[in-house]
Structure 1
Amino acid sequence: MEYAPPAIPNPYTLLSQLPPEAGWFTCLDLKDAFFCIRLAPQSQSLFTFEWTEPDTRRQLQLTWTQLPQGFRNSPTLFGEALASDLATFHREEYRCTLLQYVDDLLLACATETECQTATRARLSHLAETGYRVSWKKAQLFGEQVQYLGFVISKGQRALSTERKKVVAFLPQPTNRREICEFLGATGFCGIWIPGFSSIAWPLYEALTHQEKAHMLWTDD
């Protein structure tokens, strides 16, 4: 089976779809998301595996009936299935904007009443299509929510405290792999750092020369 990479949107591009008048938000995280997708009976034989009973040591042959974790195409298949199910939700009727990032959903509305109405309809629609929501992670009817590492409010988005801490405590990179990891983490925050491209330029330049050798830092 060929690998089909998931079509994950760029967070900045995704959040640019929020209308400026949106000031009330609901953030939903789907629980055990992959297991919400049932496998077609004719496909279940592809996911057969052996399992040994711990007490009797008897070997059994089992198969998954839901989309399994760890299968390389699961993120792609899940994303396509969820997007298809979300398309049947008539968001225009509820005057809301709906964003999807893998299994994280954001509803944005202009008023609190519209947000409450759209959220209730959205939850009912998810239940009808076989999805479950994590109530511990749900953020309902708020003027400010955290989504994809951002704090979202009307006309604004900022880095969350958790995201800032991750960047602030990154270890000093000492080789090519660590430089790539460092730039990946800090690049996410680049638009909030004045002159980020100039500051980070020496590290990008180092990538063109640095192989597996240990990197030595100087005061410069």
Structure 2
Amino acid sequence: FAFSIPSINRQEPLQRYHWVVLPQGLKNSPTICQWFVVQTLSPVRKKYPQAIIIHYMDDLLIAVSTQQELQEAHDSVITEVQKARLEISTSKIQENSPWRYLGWRLTEQVIRAQKIQVRTQVKNLRDLQQLFGEINWIRPILGITNYELAPLFNLLRGDCNINSPRTLSPEAQEALEKIAEALQ
């Protein structure tokens, strides 16, 4: 991810830099990541139009009708990802059923949500961010709105130190209970 920094009073040309890792807290980091992965996967999608390639941030799902097509698409994805100087952890590659993807458990016949337990102990900003990571992908399926989560979102305000303390208000506790109830 390249970016330029201008010099003071334009005394010299722009200095070019690039990130190897996106900085945490940069508001558009998720958007940049999504865009970069789309660009990286586009040659594979063109080469294998019959393949279903779904990605969300750094999670990929490849589905095709035959094992041979799957292997070819998989190899092509690996090649393009490496060309883009990105890495795929081999420990995260799932080749056998059941597959787990973004909170879903997939088999050849059935797709089910994985068992989720919502943490009710929120002591600091890190706990709160982990809670949002756990529920954000399933929230639309459960029919929980941003309005209903507003008391939890309000806890994000304040000190941005990851270890800064957070205390659940009665409204935030109620929002957590609503999520837990919807998961049953």
**What range describes the TM-score normalised by the shorter chain of this pair?**
0.5 to 0.7
Q: Larger Cα Rg: Structure 1 or Structure 2?
A: 1
Alignment equivalent of 2:42, drawn from 58, 83, 87: 87
Look up the match of 2:2: 39
**1:12-43 deviation per Cα after TM superposition (whole angstroms, max 9, x unaligned):** xxxxxxxxxxxxxxxxxxxxxxxxxx222x14
Does residue 97 of structure 2 align to residue 143 of structure 1? yes
Unaligned segments of structure 1, at least 5 residues: 1-37, 46-62, 194-220
Would you identify which runs of 4 or more consecutive aligned residues in structure 1 move more than 3 Å?
Answer: 184-187
Look up the match of 1:120: 75
Which stretch shows the higher mean deviation, 124-133 or 91-100? Answer: 91-100
Amino acid paired to 1:156 = V
Question: Would you tell me which structure has more helix in proportion to its own residues?
Answer: 2
Separation in 2, partners of 1:86, 1:143: 24
Does residue 18 of structure 2 align to residue 65 of structure 1? yes
**1:166-214 deviation per Cα after TM superposition (whole angstroms, max 9, x unaligned):** 15x858x982101212334554x4xxx5xxxxxxxxxxxxxxxxxxxxx
Look up the match of 1:183: 178
Report how many aligned residue pairs link the two structures. 128
TM-score (norm 2): 0.57
Aligned residues of 1:95 and 1:114 also touching (Cα < 8 A): no
**Quick one: percent identity of the two aligned structures?**
22
**1:50-77 deviation per Cα after TM superposition (whole angstroms, max 9, x unaligned):** xxxxxxxxxxxxx973132221221122
Amino acid paired to 1:176 = E
Using a 3 Å threshold, how does the CA distance of structure 1 residues 183 and 86 change in structure 2: closer, same or farther?
farther
TM-score (norm 1): 0.49
Look up the match of 1:159: 113
Look up the match of 2:29: 74
SS of match in other structure, 2:30 = helix
Unaligned segments of structure 2, at least 5 residues: 8-15, 122-167
Deviation at 1:81, TM superposition (A): 1.9
RMSD across aligned positions (CA): 2.9
Aligned residues of 1:94 and 1:114 also touching (Cα < 8 A): no
